[in-house]
Structure 1
Amino acid sequence: MIQLAAPDFSAGLASALEALEAPRVDIPVIQPAEPFLDMAGEDLRRRIFLTESETGESLCLRPEFTIPVCSAHIAQSVATPRRYSYLGQVFRQRREGGNEFYQAGVEDLGEPDEARADARALSEARALIAQFVPGADLSIILGDQSVFEAVVAGLGLPAGWQKRLVHAFGNAQALEAMMARLASPDSAARPDPSVAGFLATEDVAGLEAHIEQVMQETGYSTHASRSPAEIAARLIGKQSLDSTRLSAASLDALKAFLALDVPLDRAASALAGFARDAGLDISGAQQAFKARLDALSERGEDLGAIHWRAAFGRPLDYYTGLVFEVSAGSNNLVLAGGGRYDRMMTLLGAREPIPAVGFSLWLDRIETVRAGK
């Protein structure tokens, strides 16, 4: 296989990353596919290059570094806090550019001061871009999934709807479709006529018996699939979600939140004003948000030069809090992106929760901007 040449500034970038007290880690190119399929999000899942081992194990070419770096950390039982850097090729289908390209970045694991770690990640990403694309006019945008989760929870929606909305965070089209369903639940699909009566009368026992009969008649084994009770519970839950209606006031509040788009030095007051006007208690999320702003200020970052957009997210399912991107160039190319992904560590097998945040740099895009394109 012909090795794609690394950009000429790669050695300097690798040294700069290690100088951040983040020793470089080597990650195999061939990876188990399951963690990426489970946690990376639909946008990345459909672009992964998949293969199989001789034993039938699903494998893939390394599509990104965060998941395998974290998996390696857990497998080696390394103490935290611990920081890692990486630089190497990743492989995934892209709408623009080659399917093989270089990424570099830092994963910051186990730092208990989350505001400090968040600020460090964003600050380091900005500083690296400024160092390797000197003179570029940078655009920095920040979002926060945990604030969105707090707003959705404060609206009093069922847990199932909260999960749906959070899963769609950052996808404007998906969020609009879900909000339309919440505004007009009658437009949702009707249940199958054979089960509609059981659902309408909340006859759980009758529904289970009906499902069991259908499974027997069609030859489905309850040992090889979900049980009638499990299927009934899913149908009832779906019917409940589909019939949920968000009040006009709550829908307006959600729309008002998603419309917030201000410089970061005005973000805390904008968020406080929204919460007050909407009558929502999201004080915990506000405190964490303000702590991050203070940490960024302490690092000397110009908050007026960073933009907070309440609806901004990144197309990876594992993010849980801060998300950000740094862009530059005539085409406003995204050169760096990252965020917080606390839940992923336990999903990957960590025995205890491990706070985690990180960022990645796209070297081919940096090279493009360095060339003045």
Structure 2
Amino acid sequence: MTSSKDIHSSGDKSEYSWLTKRRNEDKFVRLCGSFGYEYQELPLLAPTDVFLRKSGGELASQMLSLIDATSNLISLRPEFTALIVSEHLKTQPDTSDIRRIQYSGPVFRQTLGASLSEQYFTQVGVELIGARGPISDAELLYLATQIPEQLGITDYTVRITDLRVLNSLLDSKQLSDRARTFIIASVPALQSRTTSVAQLLAQAQDDHIIGQNPSNDHLHIAISGLQDDQAKEVLHGFLEWSEGLAPNLGQRAADDVVDRLLRKLRGNDERDSLQEALLAIENLVNLKGNADDIMAAAETLVETCPEGSTALKSLRTVINLVTDDPNLSSKISVDFGLIKGIAYYDGIVFDITNAAGNKILGGGGRYDNLSTDLGSVCEIPSAGFAYNLEALLESADLQLSADDPLSNEWSLSTLIVMEDATQDLVALRLSRQYREAGHRVVIDSQYHSVAEARSKSSGRTWDNIVFVSASGDTEVHETNTSST
């Protein structure tokens, strides 16, 4: 019998290939459903701006776009997250309810030299909206590790970091936005050590990121320590003061003059400050391996950065919760050089790769700021992950079985409620036990009593509510009326 590895690597579009992919896509839906994630159908086309806001422009060159009949720019979806958060803001802009959404379907990414059929793939993933804290990140990461397990892939690895650690280090150096961007772009070179810090400093000098400014330069002093947006306001004020409300700038707009002047003055990031930042980031991004082995070194680097220390504590908690499953202890490593999507992710971020580490199967992380980027007046905590289904199937050796279940039904459903956050580990263990017994299980951290869970129902019936007290005692309440 032909394996999925054979049919997907050869680009087979037969019914057998489709059915293999469909059955395994349904396995994904069922697994995510057992964690309480509900399926959401999403459009193939959406306004281009939605995707650009999410990616920070990273997907711009890969998007397949067109102008619609009303002259608006729209694109084939290159991913799902921005669509889901955007739809959430339209339908539930003022609610703080936790939503668990799963999805699957084709995405389109333009690649130079690739055939049209090679420019789309099936993406499967989940989004957790409205939940924050280590228990939420841990449950999300645990679910992400179960996707390859479900397909029989056991030789995978997980790399994880928390971008707040790197960002806290950069914040502490009080660099300009240009210098900060330069350092982030230099991370691959700092990791491989193919380019020395001295060479990077010379490059920064050539790019006018650092330079020499006289100590009595009043403009330099005026914008010292300000972010670029604030500095531009100061410079605009200077122009109005020196030239009047309508400065005589010839053909050059005031904004252009201010941008050019700021670039010149931003030769103000002192060489010593940039060098100190590059050395600190070089030390950080080369820390990778077992969490117990490298966390102490990371803590030393951020000991003067409170937010970085908090992030490390949270990261350690997430790893401890997830690796309570002994099957995962050897698969998870910390890699502070993992900075993918730094314009988008703002908390934990992780990649799941094949055993050799040369193929990314999936990944995700936390993106609390995306809601405000998409127009929300307040930040909505959110996290998610996605897999390339074809890449997963190529890494698996699956046989099509006629009795693979396509149903998305569970015989019983169970809600786990904790009195407080001290019993996260107990809740995770209970959820595994109930899922292994065939239950649909949700750990809901927003409720802290059975009565509260029952009173704040929204229409979903649970067969059991399991209450975990602060002392670790459990009570099982059988019910036909409680919901979340």
Q: TM-score, normalised by structure 2?
A: 0.63
The question of whether the paired residues in 1 share the 8 Å contact of 2:344 and 2:370 is answered with: yes
Quote the residue 2:462 is aligned against: none
User: Deviations for 1:49-96, whole angstroms, at most 9, x for unmatched residues?
Assistant: 001111110000011001001101111016321111001111112477
User: Deviations for 1:254-273, whole angstroms, at most 9, x for unmatched residues?
Assistant: 32122212212334212113
* 1:23 to partner: Cα distance: 0.3
2-structure distance, mates of 1:27, 1:336: 20
- Listed as ranges, the matches of 1:155-166 within 5 Å are 155-162=173-180, 165=183
* 1:110 to partner: Cα distance: 0.9
Taking structure 1 as reference, are residues 37 and 110 closer, same or farther at Cα in structure 2, changes over 3 Å only?
Answer: same
Quote the residue 1:312 is aligned against: 338
Determine whether 1:36 maps to 2:51. yes
The question of whether the paired residues in 2 share the 8 Å contact of 1:41 and 1:316 is answered with: no
Taking structure 1 as reference, are residues 23 and 156 closer, same or farther at Cα in structure 2, changes over 3 Å only?
Answer: same
User: Deviations for 1:129-157, whole angstroms, at most 9, x for unmatched residues?
Assistant: 1111x253111111222111101112232
- Listed as ranges, the matches of 1:58-207 within 5 Å are 58-77=73-92, 79=95, 80-94=97-111, 98-113=118-133, 115-132=134-151, 134-162=152-180, 165=183, 168=185, 172=189, 180=199, 182=201, 185-189=204-208, 202=219, 204-205=238-239
Structure 2 unaligned residues grouped into runs of 5+: 1-12, 220-234, 399-484
Taking structure 1 as reference, are residues 330 and 165 closer, same or farther at Cα in structure 2, changes over 3 Å only?
Answer: closer
* 1:282 to partner: Cα distance: 1.8
* 1:128 to partner: Cα distance: 1.4
* 1:164 to partner: Cα distance: 5.3
Quote the residue 1:26 is aligned against: 41
Quote the residue 1:334 is aligned against: 360
User: Deviations for 1:320-350, whole angstroms, at most 9, x for unmatched residues?
Assistant: 1211111116673211110111111111122
The question of whether the paired residues in 1 share the 8 Å contact of 2:131 and 2:381 is answered with: yes
Quote the residue 2:470 is aligned against: none
* 1:174 to partner: Cα distance: 12
2-structure distance, mates of 1:35, 1:135: 34
User: Deviations for 1:267-319, whole angstroms, at most 9, x for unmatched residues?
Assistant: 421211333xxxx5123222232223223322425455312121212246311
1-structure distance, mates of 2:56, 2:155: 31
- CA RMSD across the alignment: 3.6
The question of whether the paired residues in 1 share the 8 Å contact of 2:46 and 2:77 is answered with: yes
Larger radius of gyration: 2
Secondary structure of the residue that 2:334 maps to in structure 1? strand
- Give the stretch that moved more between structures: 44-53 or 248-257: 248-257
2-structure distance, mates of 1:240, 1:174: 30
- Listed as ranges, the matches of 1:275-314 within 5 Å are 275=302, 280-299=303-322, 300-301=324-325, 302-314=328-340
User: Deviations for 1:170-198, whole angstroms, at most 9, x for unmatched residues?
Assistant: 655899799855466532359xxxxx9xx
2-structure distance, mates of 1:69, 1:297: 30
2-structure distance, mates of 1:292, 1:186: 36
Quote the residue 1:264 is aligned against: 291
Taking structure 1 as reference, are residues 32 and 250 closer, same or farther at Cα in structure 2, changes over 3 Å only?
Answer: closer
Question: Size of the alignment, in residue pairs?
Answer: 349
The question of whether the paired residues in 2 share the 8 Å contact of 1:342 and 1:357 is answered with: yes
Counterpart amino acid of residue 289 in structure 1: L
The question of whether the paired residues in 2 share the 8 Å contact of 1:23 and 1:85 is answered with: yes
The question of whether the paired residues in 1 share the 8 Å contact of 2:191 and 2:337 is answered with: no
Quote the residue 1:359 is aligned against: 385
2-structure distance, mates of 1:110, 1:308: 26
Secondary structure of the residue that 2:258 maps to in structure 1? helix
The question of whether the paired residues in 2 share the 8 Å contact of 1:318 and 1:341 is answered with: yes
Secondary structure of the residue that 1:108 maps to in structure 2? strand
- Give the stretch that moved more between structures: 88-97 or 98-107: 88-97
Q: TM-score, normalised by structure 1?
A: 0.81
Identity of aligned residues (%): 21
Determine whether 1:45 maps to 2:55. no
The question of whether the paired residues in 2 share the 8 Å contact of 1:142 and 1:312 is answered with: yes
* 1:360 to partner: Cα distance: 0.2
Counterpart amino acid of residue 148 in structure 1: L
Secondary structure of the residue that 2:38 maps to in structure 1? coil
- Give the stretch that moved more between structures: 53-62 or 97-106: 97-106
The question of whether the paired residues in 1 share the 8 Å contact of 2:291 and 2:334 is answered with: yes
